[in-house]
Each structure stands twice: as C-alpha cells, then as structure tokens.
Amino acid sequence: MASTEFGRTVRRWRDRVSPAAAGLPVGGHRRAAGLRREELALLAGISVDYVTRLEQGRATNPSEQVVEALGRALRLSAGEREYLFHAAGLVPPGQGTVPAYITPSVHRMLDRLTGTPVAVSDASWTLLLTNPLYTALMGERHGRERNGAWRAFLSSGGRVRHTSQSRCALETAVVADPRAAARRYPADQPLRHLIAELRANSDRFAELWDSGAVGRHEASRKTIDHPQVGAVTLDCDVLSVAGSDLRIMIYTAEPGSQDAERLELLAVIGTQTLVE
C-alpha cells in the first residue's frame, strides 16, 4: 500500500535526524545517517509496529498525542510541527490547550547535559522529554505514569524517598499546578479528564482540590533508591522556559561526593542498557 503524505513526511524527516542529535548512543554499522524506526519509536514512546504502519500508510488516523510525540522526537520547528498536524488531518492545538512544543534551544540544552539527569514537562506535569540519564535514574515511565500528579496520588510506588513533610509539599504543589493550568488552558480535554480521574480515585487529591490548596515546586534534595547503584542523593531544581510554560527538572550531585560517583556509574550502566 502506498504511503500517505503523513507517512512519507515522517519517513523523510526521520532520515535527517542523527542518533547523536537525538541523544541516543551511536554504535554499530548503519545503512543511513538518520534514525531507525525503533529509535524513533523509543523517542516518541510508541510501538515500532505503529511507526511502520504509519510510514507505510496502513495506519492513517494518528491521534493528536501521537503527532505531538513524533514532532518532538523529530525535533521539528514550529512551522514543521504545524505541517505535520495538517498532514495527519488534524488542527494544531490552539491557545486553549496545554502547549507541548519543545523549542530547538531546549533540545540543544538537553544534548549538552549528558552527565546530568534532565526531564522536560508541560504545565500539567506530563513528561514530554527525558534524557537517557534521567530515564536510567528514574526508570521508564509510560501512559499515565508520565504525569507527575497521577504518580503522586495514584501510583503504587516510585524510587524517590519521601518524608511526611516532603510528601505533603509535593502533593500540595501537584494539586495547585493542574488547577492553574486548567485556568490558563480551559479547552484542554486531557487535562480536564486527568483532574476528574484524580478527584474520583484519590480522596487526598479531592480534599486538597476542594480546600483550594496553594503550593509550588521548590528546589529540594531528593534521595533516589536505584536498584543497581543504591541510594543517590541529588539536588533537584525546577526551571521554567519563558513564553512556553515548560518546566525543566534538573538533578545534580555535589562534585567529588559518593553521589556524584554513583551518578557517573549510572551513566555507564544506562548507556550499556540502551545499546543492548
């Protein structure tokens, strides 16, 4: 079956993104300089089979979330992102929805922070992009697990240790942020559904939501219990990107400390895992 315009576009733009530019390890013989299908699938968080079917025209109605994820993985400019949405038969998200576009400058920043765990989230604290070291530190996150509010109230566990005080501060912040995002982006249906799900399934979230709890994410020290390198205590800073509502979470270790050594070891272990 002939490829659709959307599939041809994805295939053409996949060829121009090198693994190194996408933050992936480079190794072994490659027939082309661009991304392989499995690499694009990994970066976009979708299956290799679905990428194949999209490129071959056997899947012709990708969702808005899939198009957005492919656009980020392919590092598209604002104009190219808009074109990809139109090629999929969709209208690019408007001002009433949570923005998910990551600028090339933010991509470049992540490329340069290879020895530092970094994650980029949108205004609702849904992960948009992580570098390999962040994934090695925190583990793979899929589906609802990619949202910080969902993890805080409905997830069965995680690697970050919490005291009762830090847990309370986290819960207050991740209630206040979706509330603020819902006011700024009233047309965002996934955000509305997330809030409804949390209110229906978490008494604690509903209590904080109804009480009008106000809080924000502050710089903090976090201890992560990693299954291979042990406990790693890191400073966590949250940066904002002017004009985009993106949040960048950066974890750093004190130079020369045992935590810095463990983070360096994790960088090696994480890279080996991705290559295998």
Regions of the chain with pLDDT less than 70: 1-3, 25-29, 32, 95, 271-276
Global pTM value: 0.74
- So what's the pLDDT on residue 29? 66
* Token digits of residue 259: 């935590």
- At 60-100, the pLDDT tens digits run 889 988 999 999 889 988 889 889 998 998 878 776 788 88
Q: Where are the beta strands (DSSP E) in 43-181?
A: 118-121, 127-130
- So what's the pLDDT on residue 65? 87
- So what's the pLDDT on residue 148? 92
- So what's the pLDDT on residue 276? 35
Return the CATH fold of 5-87. 434 Repressor (Amino-terminal Domain) (1.10.260)
Give yes or no on whether 5-87 and 104-275 have one common fold: no
Q: Is the dihedral of CA 47, 53, 55, 61 positive or negative?
A: negative
CATH 3.30.450.180 fits 104-275, yes or no: yes
Question: How is the chain split into domains, by residue range?
Answer: 5-87, 104-275
By C-alpha distance, which of 156, 30, 20 is closest to 75? 20
